[in-house]
Amino acid sequence: MNIIKQIGKILSERDTNPKFINSLKKVREADQIAESISKRLIELEKRARQQAVNL
């Protein structure tokens, strides 16, 4: 995630193709969504393990 932000910052400081910048923003948004989903799956996995232990 931090790498994408760093790349975006470097490229946005330069004179770069607006379409490329827009696509980079979409990649960053997708990365944030993927990170959120991953965290949620980890939480669900922990909860499932805890329920299995309690059985």
Contact 38, 47 (CB under 8 A): no
Give the other-Cβ count within 10 Å of 24's Cβ.
Answer: 16
**Predicted TM-score of the model (pTM):** 0.63
User: Is residue 6 very low, low, confident or very high in pLDDT (cuts 50, 70, 90)?
Assistant: confident
Sign of CA dihedral 36, 38, 40, 43: negative
Residue 19 confidence class, pLDDT cut points 50, 70, 90: confident
Considering only residues 48 and 25, tell me which one the structure prediction assigns the higher pLDDT: 48
Beta carbons of 25 and 34 less than 8 angstroms apart: no
- Residue of 29 and 18 predicted with greater confidence: 29
At residue 15 the predicted structure's pLDDT band, cuts being 50, 70 and 90, is: low
Q: Which residue has the tokens 């946005």?
A: 12
CA distance 9 to 7: 5
Of the chain, the percentage scoring pLDDT greater than 70 comes to 87
